[in-house]
């Protein structure tokens, strides 16, 4: 089986509702264009201080209010129900991100598990920092045994750090970000622009 000739670096964190909104459309886009996808979960709260960002609870109240409106607006537009103020948000997403990294390192498709996890956060009021909840969703997703344990292994933690370093080197500052040939597309609302870029075959735009 031939390997895709082009790939997209997919920088995200599992706590991001915007990644949730865009994930299915992005995966479908990648399949349609025959793209490889490098899944790169990142510790977004460690990226923010390096790139001028702030976590949602620390943003100015006007920005926080606008974010809540946008969540409702995109939820309606995409037909993806979300609770804009879920009970267990914000939460420590590290273990959840690590599980996705571990699944990738083991060569397993994480998409089913990711969908269940996002539903748990944004629709079902579940605590996705709780290892027991994650274990339950792994089982529901049909994931191989041992993924929760693999999330704590040195190789998993090292890859998470490598993803952060790659994000910083690429100029990533938010999630989701899709990197194609060094050009970044930030936000699920840029997927139409990513699609148009692939259709046109144009050269990457550069800031310098």
Tell me how far apart the alpha carbons of residues 189 and 195 are, in angstroms, rounded to a whole number: 11
Answer yes or no: is 188 within a domain.
yes
- Indicate the pTM of the whole model: 0.96
Asked whether residue 88 is assigned to any structural domain, the reply reads yes
Residue 42, pLDDT > 90, answer: yes
Considering the chain, what is the average pLDDT of its residues? 97
Phi, psi (deg, nearest 5) at residue 30: -60, -40
Q: Looking at residues 125-146, what average pLDDT do you find?
A: 97
Query: In this predicted structure, what is the pLDDT of residue 118?
Result: 98
Q: How confident is the model at residue 3 (pLDDT cuts 50, 70, 90)?
A: low
Tell me if 84 is assigned to some domain: yes
**Domain membership flag for residue 131:** yes
The pLDDT value recorded for residue 5 is: 76
- How far are the Cα atoms of 69, 101, 105, 126 from residue 109, in angstroms, in the given order? 33, 11, 10, 23
In the chain, pLDDT over 90 holds for what percent of residues?
97
pLDDT for 2:
57
Number of domains in the chain: 1
**CATH at 148:** 3.40.30.10
The verdict on residue 133 lying in a domain is yes
Q: Is the pLDDT of residue 106 over 70?
A: yes
Q: Give Cα separations from 78 to 10, 71, 74, 189, 197 (angstroms).
A: 21, 11, 6, 11, 22
**How far, in whole angstroms, is CA 117 from its chain's centroid?**
12
Binned at pLDDT 50, 70 and 90, residue 208 comes out as confident
Q: What is the mean pLDDT of residues 12-25?
A: 98
pLDDT at 70 over 60: yes
Q: Could you tell me if residue 208 is inside a domain?
A: no
37, part of any domain: yes
Query: And the tokens for 75?
Result: 């939820």
The pLDDT tens digits for 161-180 are: 999 999 999 999 999 999 99
What's residue 191's pLDDT?
A: 98
| Predicted confidence (pLDDT) at residue 133 exceeds the cutoff of 90 | yes
Range of the domain at 105: 7-200
Q: Does 135 map to a domain?
A: yes
């Amino acid at each position: 089986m031939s390997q895709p000739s082009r790939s997209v670096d997919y920088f995200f964190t599992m706590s991001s509702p915007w990644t949730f909104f865009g994930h299915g459309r992005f995966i479908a886009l990648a399949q349609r264009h025959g793209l490889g996808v490098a899944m790169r979960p990142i510790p977004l709260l460690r990226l923010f201080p390096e790139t001028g960002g702030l976590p949602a609870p620390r943003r100015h109240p006007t920005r926080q209010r606008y974010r809540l409106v946008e969540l409702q607006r995109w939820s309606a537009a995409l037909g993806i129900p979300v609770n804009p103020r879920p009970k267990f948000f914000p939460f420590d997403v590290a273990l959840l991100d690590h599980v996705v990294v571990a699944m990738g390192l083991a060569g397993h498709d994480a998409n089913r598990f990711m969908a269940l996890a996002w539903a748990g956060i944004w629709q079902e009021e579940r605590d996705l920092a709780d290892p027991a909840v994650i274990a339950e969703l792994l089982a529901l997703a049909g994931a191989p045994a041992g993924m929760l344990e693999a999330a704590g292994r040195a190789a998993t933690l090292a890859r998470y750090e490598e993803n952060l370093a790659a994000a910083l080197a690429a100029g990533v500052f938010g999630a989701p970000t899709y990197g194609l040939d060094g050009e970044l597309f930030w936000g699920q609302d840029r997927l139409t622009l990513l699609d148009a870029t692939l259709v046109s075959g144009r050269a990457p735009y550069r800031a310098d």
